[in-house]
Structures are given as structure tokens and as C-alpha cells.
């Protein structure tokens, strides 16, 4: 990571039923195991929600980068990441769909912008070849 332009860290305590924190305490979150995974549920979040939040926000930023480069303007966009936890004979995996709304753009313009953002978003890049991410442009 010698070429990294930014570093961060988070520490997990207690796995899925514990908490996570960052040294600056900007993130200090209780974790709970969802009932669907045999847990008690509760008031905490889970790793899949955190992944969804990170991917959605990063992807929306990537859309903004490409839009600025190409002088494309649109209304208030949204990116919703739907993340599912899968289990198969090899273990666990993720199922991901990104639902993107880009008001003011035609479907063709929106799909082109989303495709280009998918090429530069760090989350998209690290999942490529490991995870089939479905990109869905939602009509606004």
C-alpha cells in the first residue's frame, strides 16, 4: 500500500455480536446477529449493512467523478445497495445489486454513466471477477 493516498482502519471486537470502532471514534457501532442467521437481532447493525453503505456511497461518488469529467448534469441522484448473504457448499458469499436513480438523464445516458462509474469505483474494482454486481438504473 505504498502508493495509497489515504489510510484508515477499524477494529472489530466480538465478531458479528460485538462492536466495531475506528481510532478517531467517528465510527463506533454495535453489531447484532440478525434472526435469519440464528441471532437475537437487536439494535446493532451487521457487516452486510456496512458493506452496503460503503458501496452505495462510493459508487455515487464515482458517478459524480465521471459526470464532472464529462460535463453531465442531473438532479439529486441516489444509489441503493441491496446486499444479501449467501451460503453454498464452499461457504458464504454476497449477492449485490445497485439501484441507481439519475433524474434528468435519459435511460441511455444514465446507463452509460453507471457503466463508466462501475469501471472506476474502488468497490466495483475489488469485487470484479469475485462477485456479480447487478446494476439497475431506476426511472425517476
3-class DSSP state of 65: helix
Q: E strand or H helix at 111, and its extent?
A: helix 107-120
**Are residue 76 and residue 119 in the same domain, yes or no?**
yes
**Are residue 88 and residue 127 in the same domain, yes or no?**
yes
CB 70 within 8 A of CB 63: no
- What distances in angstroms separate CA 128 from CA 63, 71, 124, one per listed residue? 17, 27, 6
**Are residue 27 and residue 59 in the same domain, yes or no?**
no
3-class DSSP state of 41: coil
For residue 111, what is the domain's CATH number?
A: 3.30.300.20
For the chain, what percent of residues have pLDDT higher than 70? 99
Q: What does the pLDDT look like over 55-77, one tens digit per residue?
A: 999 999 999 999 999 999 999 99
For 29, what's the count of Cα atoms within 13 Å in the CB-facing half-sphere?
A: 17
3-class DSSP state of 104: coil
Query: In this structure, what are the phi and psi dihedrals at residue 123, rounded to the nearest 5 degrees?
Result: -65, -40
Other beta carbons less than 10 A from residue 107's beta carbon? 10
Residues spanned by the domain of 57 = 47-138
Q: What does the pLDDT look like over 107-136, one tens digit per residue?
A: 999 999 999 999 999 999 999 999 989 999
Amino acid at each position: 500500500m505504498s502508493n495509497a493516498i489515504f489510510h484508515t482502519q477499524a477494529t472489530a471486537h466480538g465478531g458479528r455480536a460485538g462492536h466495531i470502532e475506528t481510532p478517531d471514534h467517528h465510527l463506533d457501532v454495535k453489531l447484532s446477529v440478525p434472526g435469519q442467521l440464528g441471532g437475537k437481532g437487536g439494535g446493532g447493525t451487521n457487516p452486510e449493512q456496512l458493506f452496503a453503505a460503503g458501496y452505495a456511497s462510493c459508487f455515487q461518488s464515482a458517478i459524480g467523478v465521471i459526470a464532472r469529467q464529462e460535463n453531465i448534469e442531473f438532479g439529486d441522484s441516489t444509489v441503493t445497495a441491496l446486499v444479501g448473504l449467501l451460503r453454498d457448499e464452499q461457504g458464504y458469499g454476497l449477492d449485490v445489486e445497485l439501484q441507481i436513480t439519475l433524474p434528468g438523464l435519459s435511460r441511455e445516458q444514465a446507463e452509460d454513466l453507471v457503466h463508466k462509474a462501475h469501471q472506476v469505483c474502488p468497490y466495483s474494482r475489488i469485487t470484479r471477477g469475485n462477485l456479480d454486481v447487478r446494476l439497475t438504473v431506476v426511472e425517476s
